[in-house]
Amino acid sequence: MRATSGRVTLRPVKRADFPKIEPWYESSLALAHAERSLETRYADAAASSLKLLAICSKDDAEPVGLLDYRVHQPAVGWLTMVYIAVSDKRRGYGYGSEAVRALEAWGKKSHRITSFLADISVNNGLGLYFWLRVGYRPAKANEVFWRALDEGGIIAMVRTR
């Protein structure tokens, strides 16, 4: 999978990318209130249909962010963004928003995706603000068919059609 939008190119993460990702990965985990190591995230993606993309500047192949996503989860026609992170130096400059738009466009075209989901921790205020700015909204009670509403302190942010 490769997608481009504006200043951003999305491409699969390679083990050779780790030295460029590791310096900012821990701080991004803390911001997102997440705990999965880069090695675990990469191994899970390699061993299954899970997807892990490097967010790169269009002019440079060096990763400036990560995007972990699932196609047709929680159901057919959905794309779930499990985790998004942008390096400390590039955070706040629109790279994450452009990456989300590129992935959405690719999902619509390649997999006929009509609904998008991002689960965020109730403790992640910056994440909530990010998803609202990108155009997502909290799911309504009747839209959360895959788990209980706010189960485990997770807010389901959605964009549909």
Q: What is the mean pLDDT of each run of 10 residues along the chain (161 residues)?
A: 78 92 85 78 76 87 90 92 90 91 93 93 90 94 72 86 74
β 51-57/3-5 pair status: unpaired
> What is the residue type of 110?
S
- pLDDT at site 109: 92
Torsion angle, CA of 128/32/27/42, rounded to 10 degrees?
Answer: -130
Per-domain boundaries in the chain: 3-160
- pLDDT at site 49: 62
- pLDDT at site 19: 93
- pLDDT at site 150: 63
- pLDDT at site 116: 96
* 3-160 to CATH, choices 3.40.630.30, 3.40.190.10, 3.90.1300.10, 3.30.365.10: 3.40.630.30
- pLDDT at site 128: 93
Locate all alpha helices (DSSP H) within 7-158, ordered by sequence: 18-32, 38-46, 95-111, 125-134
The model scores a pTM over 0.85: yes
